[in-house]
Amino acid sequence: MHVYHIPGPAPMLTNTYLAVDDGGTAVAVDPAADVQQYRDSLAAHGAHLAAILLTHGHYDHVGSAQALKDATGAPIYMGLADAAHSRLLPMRPEQIDHGLGDGQILTFGGLSLQVLATPGHSAGSCCFLCGDVLFSGDTLFAGDIGRTDLDNSDPDAMAATMQRLWQTFIRSQAVQVLPGHGPFSSMAEELAGNYYLRRYGAR
């Protein structure tokens, strides 16, 4: 699998990704950049888009989802709790082809992604574990976590999510963390140095 980083527009500069398997099957994670960037990257790698995966429904992560679906026919996957059709959470329920549930395994060509429901930053937040890569959305950042003071946020749920991530990865730390904003990290670094993971996980 190859993962290509496609930054979204300023000022949010959301990290968005295309994951492509050796056979040319691709998934887009949080498409927020211009649709043409995904089409160019797909063409450059001889790949076709099989799915659009949204870590959560915030506007800065879903901006191109519908246009990319229209352009490629790829279905949209997202936690249905985030389909609120509000300014912050613009997706409508009818735009979501498949809701996401904890523990689900999504398979597209040679790509297999495990869904981890990680509520807290938003009620429908999920992370996707694909091999040794975790697409962590706005749940886990390098040295930080997502905000929990927004509509649809829940600090208690975030604390439980941190505990869950700790328990899930403490024995399998060789995981690259590709977050929704900011620098990339690794689970080993986060387990060692992320204040929130340590505070809520190690209790």
Q: Could you give the CA distance from residue 27 to residue 75 in angstroms, rounded to a whole number?
A: 10
Contact yes or no for 61/41 (Cβ under 8 A): no
Minimum distance from residue 138 beta carbon to Zn ion (Å)? 4
Minimum distance from residue 136 beta carbon to Zn ion (Å)? 11
Applying CB under 5 A, the site for Zn ion has a residue count of 2
By CB under 5 A, what part of segment 127-156 binds Zn ion? 138
**Site track for Zn ion across 48-87, x = CB under 5 A:** ----------x-----------------------------
Q: Which is nearer to Zn ion, 44 or 149 (CB)?
A: 149
Q: Which of 115, 124, 177, 126 is nearest to 150 (CA)?
A: 124
Report how far apart, in Å, the C-alpha atoms of 90 and of each of 59, 61, 94, 104 are: 6, 10, 12, 24
Q: Could you give the CA distance from residue 40 to residue 169 in angstroms, rounded to a whole number?
A: 35
Minimum distance from residue 58 beta carbon to Zn ion (Å)? 3
Q: Which is nearer to Zn ion, 41 or 152 (CB)?
A: 152
By CB under 5 A, what part of segment 152-191 binds Zn ion? none
Q: In what order do the strands lie in the sheet with 2-7?
A: 2-7, 15-20, 25-29, 48-53, 76-78, 98-99
Minimum distance from residue 146 beta carbon to Zn ion (Å)? 6
- Tell me which residues touch Zn ion (CB under 5 A): 58, 138
